[in-house]
Structure formats: C-alpha cells, structure tokens
Copies of this chain bind each other. A is one copy, B any other.
C-alpha cells in the first residue's frame, strides 16, 4: 500500500475502518472511487456528511429521523394504541420489514446489563412510563431480544407496568420458521413447548 499516492492511501485507510471492510476490499473500493465519475464520488461524500448533519432521534419514539418527529410517528394511518418496545433502531427496521405491525414504536436504546453498568436510568424508560401514563396506549408489546439481558429487560418493564391500565405482551419465542426440531437448542424447544397453542 505504501506505493500508492498519499491521498489514495488515506482513502484506503478511511474505508478500511468500516466494519467488514479489510484492506484488500478498501483498496478495490478506493480504485472504484478513483475511476467513478466525479459527481458520483461527490454524491457519496455528500451523503456521508448529510447523514451526520440531519439524522436525529425522534422526540416521541427515539427512532432515527430526519426531523424532530419520525415518519412513523407522524403517519396518521398507524395505530396509536399499540406501542412496540425494541432495543435499537435496527430492531424497529426489522419489525417494519416484517410488515405485520401497524402501531408505533419505543426505542429503549439498549438493554439492562448490570455487568456493563447499564441500569434502568440509562434506558429510555421514564419516557415509556410517560407515554403509557398519557392514556393513549392500550397495549405495550415487548420486543426486546431473547438474550438473558433482553428477557430481563422485558420482565423489568412488565413488572413496572403491572399496576397501570395497559395490556403488556411479549413476542413469542420458539422454533424459527424452517427450523429442524433435532437441531434446535433445548432452551428454544422448552419455550416452544411451553408456548404451544391449539391448532
């Protein structure tokens, strides 16, 4: 790499800081940028700067947004009674891609993890209690992950909401679709049997 001109070396270094991009790939990408039309390179650089300038957290759900309130929270077609609680914006995007949920979201910004010093005050829980207390929410769906921390966070929220006039539910866990029973781990199988439903 030391044979490249300084500006190319710098671009390769910057690109290889991206996740999953090694030096070899960074070199190939840098060569592409070099050969690409100037306006395409400009558009890429501009979009990087723009995303850092304009993306902020939605004031209501704390998802990613270009403005103070995100598209989903603004959408009059969404069901305001239902709030799906997730850990991160990426989880919200996954639920959106599944395309079966038409309510609103609440992004916690993480999970409870005493080992990492993340207690309830580090998550957006106060904001969740406030949303529930506003009276507009009828059901809170806990869609944190099924890891130890995700489960603990879901239990914590369920306990804290217990006294309030709101239904609290947890997404189902069990065998993933297309999963082969003999390869599924015991914990998942146990959950699948516990959570069985009438056919």
Query: Which B residues are in CB contact (< 8 Å) with A34?
Result: 51-52, 55, 64
> Is there an interface contact between B3 and A55, defined as CB atoms closer than 8 Å?
no
- With contacts A42-B52, A48-B45 known, is A19 near B32, CB below 8 A? yes
Measured CA separation A32–B3 after assembly (Å): 29
Query: Which B residues are in CB contact (< 8 Å) with A8?
Result: 51, 55, 64
Counted per complex, copies of this chain come to: 2
> Is there an interface contact between A49 and B54, defined as CB atoms closer than 8 Å?
no
A25-48 CB contact bits vs B (8 Å, 1 = yes)? 100111111100010111111111
In the complex, the chain B residue whose C-beta lies closest to that of A12 is: B47
Measured CA separation A53–B11 after assembly (Å): 12
> Is there an interface contact between A11 and B48, defined as CB atoms closer than 8 Å?
yes
**A96 in the interface (beta carbon within 8 A):** yes
Binds B, one of A65-73, A138-146, A181-189: A65-73
> Is there an interface contact between B45 and A4, defined as CB atoms closer than 8 Å?
no
- With contacts A4-B64, A5-B66, A8-B55 known, is A41 near B48, CB below 8 A? yes
- Apart from A11-B51, A15-B44, A34-B51, what 18 extra A-B contacts exist at CB < 8 Å? A3-B93, A5-B66, A5-B70, A7-B47, A7-B53, A8-B55, A10-B47, A14-B43, A14-B47, A15-B47, A17-B44, A19-B28, A33-B51, A41-B48, A41-B51, A41-B52, A44-B45, A45-B46
